Amino acid sequence: MPQTDSQPYDFDTATAVRRGEGDDVYLADLDPTWQVGGGILNGGYLLSVAAQAAVQGSHHPHPVAVSASYLRTTAADTVSLRVTPGAGGRTLAHSLVTLSDATGRPSLTVQATTATLTDEAPEYADAPMPVMPPPEECVDMAARLNPDPSKRPGLSRHVDSRLDPATAGWTVGEPSDEPVLRAWIRFVDGRPADPLALLTFADVLPPLGFVIGHRGWAPTVQLQVLVRGLPAPGWVLAETRARQIAGGWLDEDCTIWDSTGRLVAEGRQLARMSRAAG
């Protein structure tokens, strides 16, 4: 997908896969800049790469349901993606994708269902988009970190997130009692959102622990994302919400609407949470 200046979009380059040795094996050069800090690659980015391999190995263009187990951290290296086809037909196809490092050690397994989504109007819809201020009145965390987009750290170089001020108190040392985040999201370079991008967007907001004043990272254990429609052009709105934190486990529900207010993705993850409060 070339831009007007014929440069490919960041996301397409970073998620590209090519055929490896043997049937159903793909290779990808993971991009170290899609990290969340400390060199740890974003879980949503890894999910998009795995789904890219699943789509390449399928007759259907869109990931509609993906479930990932995060076994270990994945180094930003050349990785292999083995796609094991499951049952498939005219409507949908299943596969299992195993992402392994150069030594063959798996770090991510993904069950993927592919199909062909359309933009037809839903027969039933009851998930109204939350009301929040427009992007220009929201908190641009990346701009705070560095006014120069090319010098921003990690993910924020690629993904433009504007936090609803009502959920951004923690960014100025005023944590909330409620682990909820809302943000407008788009790619910095103007790449349109599509089902593959929604997988990254479903895991791109800061950890909900931060919102309530925890300092530790909350590594994803398992994440499912359902893609429910083709997003219209423009910003998407993502909301993440935890319902229970107990015994060191945290759930994180992510809902994404497109610019027309249509629900386009739903994700739910289980994460481990450090018990040490900030």
Please report whether residue 174 would count as binding a copy of itself according to CB under 8 A. no
Element (H, E) at 269: strand 263-272
Structure tokens at 186: 């788009």
Report the distance separating Cα 56 and Cα 65, nearest Å. Answer: 15
Span interacting with a copy of itself, options 103-111, 131-139, 149-157, 193-201, rule CB under 8 A: 103-111
Report the distance separating Cα 252 and Cα 180, nearest Å. Answer: 9
Please report whether residue 109 would count as binding a copy of itself according to CB under 8 A. yes
CB 258 within 8 A of CB 185: no
Span interacting with a copy of itself, options 67-75, 133-141, 152-160, 181-189, rule CB under 8 A: 67-75
Q: Which is nearer to a copy of itself, 21 or 126 (CB)?
A: 126
Q: Contacts with a copy of itself: how many residues (CB under 8 A)?
A: 51
Structure tokens at 192: 């349109």
Q: Which of residues 220-249 bind a copy of itself (CB under 8 A)?
A: 221-222, 224, 226, 228-229, 242-249
Span interacting with a copy of itself, options 28-36, 86-94, 133-141, 195-203, rule CB under 8 A: 86-94
The number of C-alpha atoms within 13 Å of 21 and in the hemisphere containing its C-beta is: 0
Instruction: Output the smallest distance, CB 76 to a copy of itself, in A.
Output: 19
Q: Which of 141, 103, 259, 116 is nearest to 195 (CA)?
A: 116
Instruction: Output the smallest distance, CB 27 to a copy of itself, in A.
Output: 21
Please report whether residue 90 would count as binding a copy of itself according to CB under 8 A. no
Give the three-state DSSP class for 54. helix
CB atoms within 10 A of CB 121: 8
Give the three-state DSSP class for 215. coil
Q: Which of 219, 256, 261 is nearest to 241 (CA)?
A: 256
Structure tokens at 116: 């062909």
Report the distance separating Cα 92 and Cα 215, nearest Å. Answer: 41
Q: Which is nearer to a copy of itself, 59 or 144 (CB)?
A: 59
By rule CB under 8 A, what string of x and - marks binding of each residue 47-66 to a copy of itself?
A: -----------------xx-
Q: Which is nearer to a copy of itself, 147 or 261 (CB)?
A: 261
Residues at the site binding a copy of itself, with contacts judged by CB under 8 A: 64-65, 67-69, 71-72, 86-87, 91-92, 94, 96, 106, 109, 111, 113, 115, 117-118, 120-127, 178-179, 212, 221-222, 224, 226, 228-229, 242-249, 251, 263, 266, 268, 270, 272
